[in-house]
Amino acid sequence: MIENIKNIFKTIIIFFKNPIYGIRTMPNYDLKSLIIVQIIVSVIAGCLSSLFNFSFFGFLHGLIIIPFVSLITSGISTLYIYYSFLFLYQKNLPPREVFSLVVMSFVPYFIFLSLSPLLPPITLLGFLFSAILLTIGLVERFSFPKPTVIKVVGSLFIIYFLIWIWDRIDTFMLTKRI
């Protein structure tokens, strides 16, 4: 398993050099390794974002809450994609491959998440890059027509965007009360 985790990080380094090539050529990884890598990447991003806030509670948030939420988000995104293709297009995708694509395509999101205390909307840019990579991965790996994949991934982006707006309003109202 340690060797798989090292290989996943090698793939992430390829992502930094050429994200499109990285998502196209990404091998299948086992579920445990993917979950561990997701936790590591989200902890790093969460803790880096706390450095901009200079907050101990922000650090704890990045260390505990962000990895937990990222796993839930990846799981929900995987199920959303899986069931969208199953029910809308009668295509049965391998769930582990979809999860693998989701985890690896979320890497840009985590990079931008670490900068979010400086400029909160930057997380939307990170998620947009992740959505583009996810679209490329689904088209390349499963040979789906691009318009079909854009509809599914685009609807996922719209859902994320609405949740982000709700969170920003909630945060604004909370800081206004304090």
**Is the pLDDT reported for residue 7 higher than 90?**
no
What confidence tens digit (pLDDT) does each residue in 71-117 have?
999 999 999 999 999 998 898 999 999 999 999 899 889 889 888 88
For residue 150, what are the contacts with CB-CB under 8 A and spacing of at least 6? 135
- d(CA 41, CA 43) in angstroms, rounded, equals 6
Residue 173 pLDDT: 80
pLDDT in tens, 28-71: 888 888 898 889 889 888 888 888 777 777 788 888 888 999 99
How far CA 120 is from CA of 51, 93, 139, 140, 141, in Å, comes to 15, 34, 30, 32, 32
Residue with tokens 């949740």: 163
Q: CB count, 10 Å around CB of 167?
A: 12
Q: What is the mean pLDDT of residues 151-155?
A: 95
Torsional sign, CA 141, 144, 147, 152:
negative
What does the pLDDT read at residue 178? 61
Dihedral-angle region of residue 55 (phi above 0 means left; psi in -120 to 50 means alpha; beta otherwise): beta
What percent of the chain clears pLDDT 90, i.e. is strictly above it? 40
Which CA distances in Å does 49 have to 53, 56, 70, 95? Answer: 7, 11, 15, 31
Residue 119: pLDDT above 90? Answer: no
- Local confidence band at 12 (pLDDT 50, 70, 90 cut-offs): confident
- Residues 137-166: what's their mean pLDDT? 92
How wide is the angle at C-alpha 122 spanned by C-alphas 69 and 33, nearest 5°? Answer: 40
> Which tokens is 144 given?
């789906």
The two tokens of residue 115 are 């900068």
Model pLDDT, residue 22 = 82
pLDDT of residue 48: 85
Mean pLDDT of the chain: 87
Full residue range of the structural domain in which residue 72 is found: 2-177
Place of tokens 């790996």: 141
Closest CA to 101 of 66, 67, 144: 144
Residue 113: the pLDDT is: 86
In angstroms, the CA 21 to CA 124 distance is 22
pLDDT over 70 percentage in the chain: 98
Instruction: Answer whether 128's CB lies under 8 Å from 106's CB.
Output: no
Number of domains in the chain: 1
Please check the confidence at residue 9 and state whether its pLDDT lies above 90: no
